[in-house]
Structure 1
C-alpha cells in the first residue's frame, strides 16, 4: 500500500499534512480495516502496493453509500481490504451482496480468513480464478446487475474486463464502474519528462492503461470522468 497524493503542494511535508487532514476529516474507517492493512503490509510486503490506501478505502465507502449500492462487483480482491471497505458501506443494507474475484491462491486465502474473522463472509463472496471466467459464471447465474464495479487487477486485462462487464450487462443503468491506477504515476499522460520512467514495471503498464482509458472514453454505453486522484481513477456511468 502506498499513499498517493497529487503534485499540488510545495513539498512532501505539506502533501503528507494534507493527506492526514483529508483522512481525519473523511468518513471514518473501522479499526479492523487498519488492522487488516497492517497485516497485509507485514505478511505481503513485496505485494502490498497492490492494496488501496486508507483514504481510497474511505472514498470507496463514501461512493458506495452515495450511490445507494446494494450489489457490488470487484475485479481484483488481493487480500480483501477494499472488499472489507465495501462491506462497511453495505452494513445493514437489506439484500446487500459483494462479489470479488482474484486469481492468486495466496492472497485469496488471506482474504477469506479476513472475511470470516470480521464477520462478513455471509456478505462477501470470493471467486478464485481467471476474472473473465468468473464474469461469465456470474452472468450465467444471473448474479447481476450490480450497482458498482471496482476494477483493480492486472492492467493488461482492463479492456477485456470492461467489455465483458458491459457486454454481459453486469452493471445496471446508472451503475458506476471505477477503474484504479489509470494514470500510473502520471506515466500514462507523460513519460519523457516523468522521473517515474525509471520504474520499468510501471512503464509496462502504460500502453494497456492508455488503451483502456481510450476504450472507456469512446464507448457510447457510458459517460466517463478521469480524475487525477490516488494513482488515477476512471469513473464510467452506464447510460
Structure 2
C-alpha cells in the first residue's frame, strides 16, 4: 500500500472511531505557523486509551508543540488529574495554552517553558508524586537522557512511551547517521540495557508516514 493509502486508512479510522478528532486544534496550530508534526488523531486516541487503561492521574509530556497530544492526555487523566508538559519554544507554549483553555482542560495542564534538560531537574527537586505515564516526543538527540530522567520521576508500573523511533526505517540503515537517527538508536539500546525497564518497539504507518514508538514499563 502506498503512503496515500495509509492516509486513507487513517481518515477512515478517525471518521469511524473518533469523529471530528479536534481538527480545529490542528488548524489553529497550522494558522500559528507551527510545524505539522503533531500526532495523528488515531495516535492521540491511542495515547488517551493507554493513560486510561493504567488509570493515570499524573502524566509527564516532553514536547508540547501546540498541545494536540496534550489535549488527549488531559482528557484521559480526568478533572482530578494533571499533565505536566515541557516545551522549549515560548510561541508553541502560547498556542498550546490557548488551545487547551479553549477545550476546557487548561486547569489540568501545567506547561513548563524552557529546555527540558533544564526543566526536568526542577521537577525532580519539587519532590512531587511520581508520574504514571511519560510521553516523550521532543528533540530525538536527547531521547536517552529524557528516559533516564523519566526513570527518576516514575514508579514501578509506570509507562514510558518514546515517539518517532523508526525514522522511516533509517534506524537499520548503516548510511543513515543524522543526529535524530543516532538518538533513536541510542534510546532503543538504552531501553534494551536498562534492567529497570521492560520495553518493545513497534512500527507504525499512517498519515504521519512510516515510523514507530517504544513502549516501556518501569519494573519493581
Asked if TM exceeds 0.5, the reply is yes
**Residue 81 of structure 1 corresponds to which residue in structure 2?**
68
In structure 2, C-alpha distance between the alignment counterparts of 1:150 and 1:80, rounded to whole Å: 13
Change beyond 3 A, Cα 1:29–1:66: farther
Do the aligned residues in 2 keep the contact of 1:72 with 1:98 (CA within 8 Å)?
yes
- Partner residue, 1:5: none
1:78-121 alpha-carbon deviations (Å, 9 max, x no partner):
111111111121234xx311100011011011111222222222
Tell me how far 1:151 sits from its aligned partner.
0.3
Residues 99-156 of structure 1: CA deviation (Å, up to 9, x unaligned): 0001101101111122222222210000111212221111211223011000000111
Question: Paired residue for 1:34, among 14, 23, 39?
Answer: 23
- Mean alpha-carbon deviation: is it higher for 60-69 or for 183-192? 183-192
Q: Distance in 2 between matches of 1:189 and 1:232?
A: 13
Match of 1:155 in 2: 140
Match of 2:86 in 1: 101
The DSSP-based 3-state class of the residue aligned with 1:157 is helix
Q: Which runs of 4+ in 1 moved over 4 A?
A: none
Relative to the length of structure 2, the TM-score reads: 0.89
Give CA deviations for 1:27-47 in whole Å, capped at 9, x if unaligned. x2665x2111111123225x2
Check if 1:165 corresponds to 2:144. no
Matches within 5 A, 1:122-161: 122-161=107-146
Alignment size in residue pairs: 214
Aligned to 2:183: 208
Conservation of the 8 A alpha-carbon contact between 2:14 and 2:20: no
Is there any run of 5+ residues in structure 2 with no aligned partner, and where? 206-210
- Name the residue aligned to 1:53: 40
